[in-house]
Structure 1
């Protein structure tokens, strides 16, 4: 699959599904890339033209050497879609990708057919947060310390009791051919820490689904409830038995909720 020159970036992207279908754009979260959608792309592309890409500083997209904001990432998304000739699409963002999606919907409402915000927040928490710890752990060897802490905060204890899953996840991350450098991870964290669209959510006009894992401790349910209270045409879906990575932990339930929503819009 190709990369495309967009401003100062070479953005890696993939398109799945027939060209004449309605576009669905997937925006991944902190440290993630297209591989994070492994359970979604095959299902969503049966009905939609799925566009997925790696954010700046992740995967196969350019690693920058300057600081940026979530607004910068939203503009990257806009520039990519314009370059691909996409005028309007369903937009789905998870975690940091949900922050990018909120910002995109505020900046470019005419391009949003519907909006899906998964496991996300309207603003960064003040004071200490997991990001503070992660920005230090990511620089420490062995890398497993950082990865294990992320797993603990991303999945439920029941999932992590499966040591085969834990070991396979660690092995996959450690051997991944497109690792994220620590400095790139820190730049993404810094962008999150500056994020706040709380007072602008009322400007989002697209029909919106806000979806979250019942046991999410990184972006707890109450954040999603607040988002729904501030976006006029929005609804909340809580997926039982999963934490932050609901699209990986409960992919069948996540996909069904998303597809049911998309079919109405």
Structure 2
């Protein structure tokens, strides 16, 4: 395990793959840690240098007291990449990780060569949605909202107790630190990236599961429309986390996009 103190907190991270190849940096979703990318990593680590990290308040990274701002997460990632001396990377962001990726590209264009934005948007949810989650998690814990989250994350065929992987990801969610979850809900509530994302001029791929209950295809299509030349793809048979339910198709689209952008 690897840890570093950046931006005032300790982050857990990992570096895999081929050292002298282009770098892909993975930013994961609310209520998860970087293990959600395992099946993707297995298929790409022979071709690229891969950087994974647990954002503030998630996985093995330190949790500060809520609320958080999206800029906290963005500065955390920028600090990690500066520590690793990573520049000109492809940032692969899922859900809030995709918002972190968009904001990083606007703040630190030197760090970003291209974007792969999965199941995310320029604005996600409403104040009422996020305030309700913050209240529930603060008063009753993350487990109190788990059933509804799982319905957004996974398709009905995957979301069965006899599926051991589903049970494992449920455990990942419910073991997320309440401060980290509630703090990141506040960051999502307050983040509005429409204009800064509209100004981006980097190669971009936008992906979404066809059964995503959190950021549905229509919303991700709106995101793609903001970025000149962005490519938009729908992944069949996936909910909010295509990297888990459809890793082969996810990797196929990533590879195709990287070839198209001449990142090989």
Spell out, residue by residue over 1:16-73, the C-alpha distance to the aligned partner (whole angstroms, 9 max, x if none): 0121111110001112111111211111212110000000111111111243211221
Q: Identify the residue that residue 50 of structure 1 maps to in structure 2.
A: 50
Secondary structure of the 1:164 match is: coil
Number of equivalenced pairs: 261
Alpha-carbon distance in structure 2 between the residues aligned to 1:143 and 1:149:
11
How far has the Cα of 1:139 moved from its partner? 4.8
TM-score (norm 2): 0.91
Residues 232 and 191 of structure 1, relative CA distance in 2, 3 Å threshold: same
Is structure 2 residue 154 aligned with structure 1 residue 155? yes
Equivalent residues of 1:144, 1:170 under 8 A apart: no
Alpha-carbon distance in structure 2 between the residues aligned to 1:141 and 1:198:
33
Equivalent residues of 2:27, 2:92 under 8 A apart: yes
Secondary structure of the 1:26 match is: strand
How far has the Cα of 1:110 moved from its partner? 2.4
Spell out, residue by residue over 1:163-207, the C-alpha distance to the aligned partner (whole angstroms, 9 max, x if none): 312x65335644x6x932212211110110001111222221110
How far has the Cα of 1:225 moved from its partner? 1.3
Alignment of 1:97-136 (within 5 A): 97-129=97-129, 131-136=130-135
Alignment of 1:106-255 (within 5 A): 106-129=106-129, 131-139=130-138, 144-160=143-159, 162-165=160-163, 169-170=166-167, 173-174=170-171, 179-255=175-251
Alpha-carbon distance in structure 2 between the residues aligned to 1:238 and 1:48:
24
Q: Identify the residue that residue 257 of structure 1 maps to in structure 2.
A: 253
TM-score (norm 1): 0.91
Alpha-carbon distance in structure 1 between the residues aligned to 2:43 and 2:168:
26
| Higher mean displacement: 204-213 or 67-76 | 67-76
Equivalent residues of 2:25, 2:89 under 8 A apart: yes
Q: Identify the residue that residue 86 of structure 1 maps to in structure 2.
A: 86
Residues 234 and 182 of structure 1, relative CA distance in 2, 3 Å threshold: same
How far has the Cα of 1:132 moved from its partner? 4.3
Alpha-carbon distance in structure 2 between the residues aligned to 1:223 and 1:262:
23
Q: Identify the residue that residue 37 of structure 1 maps to in structure 2.
A: 37
Alpha-carbon distance in structure 1 between the residues aligned to 2:140 and 2:66:
25
Alpha-carbon distance in structure 1 between the residues aligned to 2:219 and 2:158:
23
Gaps of 5+ in 2: none
Residues 81 and 168 of structure 1, relative CA distance in 2, 3 Å threshold: closer
Equivalent residues of 2:89, 2:114 under 8 A apart: yes
Equivalent residues of 2:105, 2:112 under 8 A apart: yes
Gaps of 5+ in 1: none
